[in-house]
Amino acid sequence: MFTTVERDRVRDKLVAAAKADPRIAAAGFAGSSAYGEEDEWSDIDLALGLAPSVDYDDVVAAWTESLYREHGAVTHLDVRAGSTLFRVFLLQGTLQVDIAFWRAEEFGATGPRFEVLFGKANDVEKTKPPVAANLIGWAWLYALHARSSIGRGRVWQAEYMISGMRDQVFALACLRHDVPAVQGRGMDDVPPEAAAPLMAALVRSLDLAELGRAFTAACTALLTEIEYVDPEHAARLAPSLRELSSPREW
């Protein structure tokens, strides 16, 4: 396990390398790296704004080679958002280093946690929270497949669908309480009374009766959250959700 001293040393070397690289016009910290909000578990989130005339792929390749050669990267994962590449590195000692490669005109704060280190940040569109209607749609879709999976005795698939449904409902609760609603980041900040119904939707075993119990709890929690967002939508969905989750011999 990496130490905070080791993490800070890697972070400082990466920032120094960015400042010394003429192909990098701007840089900033994102996430907990911004404004010194790290704890002992925090990773490094470095955003690089590339100069307009450079070859994007060449810069990515050079920085990737450096992470492996100089910082002991073990592997990496690519995540894309529009034209921006987020290359996520795993270093020896389990330190995660996220390097975002932004084109010059797109470099800027897309979220509330962003600290410019050097260069100029553009006024760019902020990342929007998920739309409640989409979360509701995914939740009832998961519910349909949870019901059929239980009915077919496909217990692992049923657990997957119930958990997916519960995650959408939890995201709705996060939206309602104005905490981050993606990747589980706000779940622990939801008030206990709002999280309690989701606790009941946890699958505790692959027994069919237990799957049915958790599924019923998830349907009840979903209907409750929809009523907060859109009572008319809740009224339309209520008969179907109650039919899906009505007590039966699973």
| 157 Rama sector, left if φ>0, alpha if ψ -120 to 50, beta otherwise | alpha
Nearest to 171 by CA among 110, 221, 100: 221
The CA–CA distances, whole Å, from 4 to 9, 39, 41, 43 equal 9, 8, 8, 10
Contact 108, 123 (CB under 8 A): yes
The CB density around residue 1, as the number of other CB atoms within 10 Å, is 8
Contact 121, 28 (CB under 8 A): yes
pLDDT at 233: 92
CA 189/CA 180 separation, integer angstroms: 9
Residues 6+ apart with CB under 8 A from 177: 186, 189, 190, 191, 194
Q: Is beta strand 44-50 parallel, antiparallel or unpaired with respect to 96-102?
A: parallel
pLDDT at 214: 96
| 91 Rama sector, left if φ>0, alpha if ψ -120 to 50, beta otherwise | beta
pLDDT at 247: 63
| 44-50 sheet: strands from edge to edge | 73-81, 84-91, 96-102, 44-50, 24-30, 114-118
pLDDT at 248: 65
CA 245/CA 14 separation, integer angstroms: 53
pLDDT at 110: 83
CA 9/CA 4 separation, integer angstroms: 9
All residue ranges of the chain with pLDDT < 70 are 247-250
